[in-house]
Amino acid sequence: MASVVSIDKLTKTYENGFQALKGIDLEIEEGEILALLGPNGAGKTTLISIICGLVNPSTGKVMVGGHDVIRDFRQTRSLIGLVPQELTTDMFETVWNTVSFSRGVYGKKPDPALVERVLKELSLWNKKDNMLRELSGGMKRRVMIAKALAHEPKILFLDEPTAGVDVNLRREMWQLVEKLRESGVTIILTTHYIEEAEEIADRVGVINGGKLLLIEEKAALMKKLGRKQLRLELSEPLKVLPESLAAYNLTLSEDGTALIHEYQGEEGQGTIASLLSTLAAQDIHFRDLSTRQSSLEDIFVALVGEDA
Amino acid sequence: MNFEAIKSIYVFEMARLRRTLLQSVISPVITTSLYFIVFGTAIGSRIQTVEGVSYGSFITPGLIMLTLLTQCISNGSIGIYFPKFTGTIYEILSAPVAMTEIIVGYVGAAATKGLIIGLIILATASFFVDIHIAHPFMMVLFLVLTAVTFSMFGFIIGIWAKNFEQLNVIPMLVVPPLTFLGGSFYSINMLPPFWQTVSHFNPVLYLVSGFRWSFYEIADVNPMVSLGMITLFLVICLSILGWIFKTGYRLRN
Smallest Cβ distance to A101: which of B12, B97, B253? B12
Tell me the ipTM for this assembly.
Answer: 0.81
Contacts of B95 in chain A (CB under 8 A): 77, 105-107
Q: SS3 of B175, please?
A: helix
Predicted confidence (pLDDT) per residue in A181-194, tens digit: 999 999 999 887 77
Distance from CA of A248 to the nearest CA of B (A): 57
Q: Per CB distance under 8 Å, which residues of A are interface residues toward B?
A: 14-15, 52-56, 73-78, 80, 82, 84, 86, 88-92, 97, 101-109, 147
Note whether residue B28 is domain-resident: yes
> What's the confidence (pLDDT) of residue A147?
92
H or E segment and range at residue B13: helix B3-19
Smallest Cβ distance to A105: which of B15, B92, B253? B92
Contact criterion met (CB below 8 Å) for B137 and B63: no
Residues A238 and A259: their CA atoms lie apart, in Å, by 9
% of chain A beyond a pLDDT of 70: 94
Is there a contact between A90 and B88 if contact means CB atoms under 8 Å apart? yes
> What's the confidence (pLDDT) of residue A266?
63
Give the mean pLDDT of chain A: 85
Q: pLDDT of chain B along its 253 residues, tens only?
A: 788 899 999 998 888 877 777 777 788 888 888 888 887 777 777 877 888 888 888 888 998 998 899 889 989 999 899 888 888 888 888 999 988 899 999 999 999 999 999 998 898 888 888 888 999 999 999 999 999 999 999 999 999 988 888 888 888 888 888 888 888 888 888 888 888 888 888 889 999 999 999 999 888 889 999 999 999 999 999 999 988 877 777 776 6
Instruction: Return the C-alpha torsion angle B149, B152, B157, B160, nearest 10.
Output: -140
Note whether residue B127 is domain-resident: yes
Note whether residue B252 is domain-resident: no
> For residue A308, is pLDDT > 50?
no
Predicted confidence (pLDDT) per residue in A98-111, tens digit: 999 999 999 899 99
Smallest Cβ distance to A55: which of B15, B88, B252? B252
Question: Domains in chain B: how many in total?
Answer: 1
pTM: 0.81
Structural domain including B130 reads 3-247
Which residue in chain A has the smallest CA separation from B89?
A88
Predicted confidence (pLDDT) per residue in B166-200, tens digit: 888 888 888 888 888 888 888 888 888 888 888 88
Note whether residue B171 is domain-resident: yes
Residue A149 — very low, low, confident or very high, per pLDDT cuts 50/70/90? very high
Smallest Cβ distance to B87: which of A14, A76, A86? A86
Is there a contact between B96 and A55 if contact means CB atoms under 8 Å apart? no
Residues B5 and B25: their CA atoms lie apart, in Å, by 26
**Cβ within 8 Å of residue A212, ≥6 positions away:** A24, A25, A26, A205, A206
Predicted confidence (pLDDT) per residue in A251-287, tens digit: 888 888 888 888 776 666 677 888 888 888 888 888 8
Which residue in chain A has the smallest CA separation from B98?
A74
Predicted confidence (pLDDT) per residue in A204-230, tens digit: 898 888 999 888 888 887 776 667 788
Residues A150 and A83: their CA atoms lie apart, in Å, by 12
Contacts of B9 in chain A (CB under 8 A): 104-105
Using a CB–CB cutoff of 8 Å, tell me whether B247 touches chain A: no
Which residue in chain B has the smallest CA separation from A107?
B4
> For residue A66, is pLDDT > 80?
yes
Note whether residue B253 is domain-resident: no
Predicted confidence (pLDDT) per residue in B19-39, tens digit: 777 777 788 888 888 888 887
Smallest Cβ distance to A107: which of B12, B86, B96? B96
H or E segment and range at residue B149: helix B136-160
